[in-house]
Amino acid sequence: MKFRTFALFVGPSVLLMFLFIATPLISVLWQSFHLTKPVFENVEVETCTPSFTGQTCVTENKTRPKLNKEGRIIEETQFVGLQSYRSLIEPEKTLTALSSGNWSQIQNIDFWKALRFTLTFTFITLPLVIGVGFAIALAVNNVLKALKGYVIFISLLPFIITPVIGALSIRWLFIGDGILTAFLEWWLERDIALFAQGWTIELLMLFYRVWHSAPFAFVVLYAGLQTINQDSLESAIIDGANRLQRLRFIIVPHLMPLIIFIALIHLMDAYRVFDEIVGFSSQAHVISLQWLTYDLLTPDDSGSRSIGRASASAMLTMVGIALILVPLLRRTWRDHHEA
């Protein structure tokens, strides 16, 4: 294919990605070093009120935002360097907390709190999702072949359901005196409040995410299991390999590319954890990096959005995912060049 035709085919897509993915990144980088705020002016205002003896006049100095000719607030943007980053990370507070070895103090800073949760969430769900998906795939492949259709249908539901609503449905089961909490209370004969502290919410979130993503791993690995060379499995049986050995030396190596693919996709998706926070309304206890940026972007009580800090948090989020993905991407690149 000539370059010109190739460019015509790929052009629109590349242009869109450039316009709406690459340029926003640049503008985020720029915003994170700048601060936009309205220009204020000092005005002397004289207010007079009628009184019994005539007029009482009070003059006072007021600061108010400057307006331009059309009545819009004039805003100015200035370079503030690392100020947004600093107000996000709060280095002094972090350092004192670190030197005194006080972990809970670091957890008071939103950014570290979010980072801690995002990373633990990502790396705990990763093996669970792959493990559960693999187990279901093996079970369906070996024992439950007849049930294949039903298992796939049922497992597709959590994968396809809107994440916010999926999280909500779990929450409704466990909240206050939901069905399952009532059952647990009756069973353990004690009061249970699953939404009163951070770690129970986190457990529920982990559970939800595994329930949501394991079907994907299951479907992919099940398809992979169908492509395994039956001859090598049979010769392994003849050589006296037991189930575990067959699993370890034939099946897992064969599925390795798929497992890496699932890990890659899962790392990307789990690092983006956000819908769970919304669904569980867990802002008070647990937040994630994406939620932090989202929260900074939503208008606060006075209607202003802290764009600078949101951009700083977005940049740091991006650096995080880049660091996580570099080893996997390098592997993909190497595979391509070998092939």
* Shortest separation between residue 237's beta carbon and another protein, angstroms: 26
b/e sequence 10-41, b meaning 16+ C-beta within 10 Å: eeeeeeeeeeeeeeeeeebeebbbbbeeeeee
Question: Which candidate, 87, 9, 30, places its Cα nearest to that of 311?
Answer: 30
3 state DSSP class of 63: strand
User: How far is it, in rounded angstroms, from Cα 307 to Cα 297?
Assistant: 6
Among 16, 43, 48, 82, binds another protein (CB under 8 A): 16
Find the shortest distance in angstroms from Cβ 72 to another protein.
9
The token duo for 295 is 């929260």
Counting contacts by CB under 8 A, is residue 10 touching another protein? Answer: yes
| Contacting residue, 204, 225, 262, 286, with another protein by CB under 8 A | 262
Among 27, 102, 142, 235, binds another protein (CB under 8 A): 27
Assign 182 to helix, strand or coil. Answer: helix
Q: Which two tokens stand for residue 97?
A: 């907390």
Complex with another protein: residue 164 or 206, whichever CB lies closer: 164
Based on its alpha-carbon atoms, the radius of gyration of the chain, rounded to whole angstroms, reads: 28
Q: Enumerate residues 180-239 that contact another protein by CB under 8 A.
A: 182, 216, 219-220, 223-224, 227
For the bound state, the minimum distance from the C-beta of residue 247 to another protein, rounded and expressed in Å, comes to: 20
Give me the 264-293 binding string for another protein, x by CB under 8 A, dash otherwise: ---xx--xx-xx--x--x-------xxx-x
Given a contact cutoff of 8 angstroms between Cβ atoms, the answer to whether 207 and 173 are in contact is: no
- DSSP assignment letter at 73: B
DSSP per-residue codes, 150-170: HHHHHHHHHHHS-HHHHHHHH
Q: Which of 129, 194, 205, 258 is the binder for another protein (CB under 8 A)? A: 258
Written as one string, the DSSP assignment of 99-154 is HTT-HHHHTTSHHHHHHHHHHHHHHHHHHHHHHHHHHHHHHHHHT-GGGHHHHHHH
Question: Would you give the binding string for another protein spanning residues 141-180, x where CB under 8 A is met?
Answer: -----------xx--xx--xxxxxx--xx--x----x---
Is residue 317 involved in binding another protein (CB under 8 A)?
yes
Contacts with another protein in 104-133 (CB under 8 A)?
A: none
Q: How many residues bind another protein (CB under 8 A)?
A: 77
Provide, rounded to whole angstroms, the least separation between the CB of residue 332 and another protein: 7
Q: How many CB atoms lie within 10 A of CB 118?
A: 24
Residues 59-98 that bind another protein (CB under 8 A): none
Our finding on whether 13 is near another protein (CB under 8 A) is: yes
Query: How far from chain centre, in Å, is Cα 5?
Result: 38
Minimum CB–partner distance for residue 99 and another protein (Å): 32
Q: Which stretch binds another protein (CB under 8 A): 18-26, 58-66, 87-95, 190-198?
A: 18-26
Q: Which stretch binds another protein (CB under 8 A): 17-25, 38-46, 79-87, 191-199?
A: 17-25
> Binders of another protein among 33-52, rule CB under 8 A?
36
Distance CA 273, CA 167 (A): 12
314: contact with another protein by CB under 8 A: yes
Pick 62 or 330: Cβ nearer another protein: 330
The nearer residue to another protein, 28 or 201, going by C-beta atoms, is 28
**Dist CA 268 CA 264 (whole Å):** 6
* Shortest distance (Å) from residue 110 CB to another protein: 14
Nearer to another protein, 112 or 218 (CB): 218
Contact 286, 198 (CB under 8 A): yes
322 token code pair: 């880049």
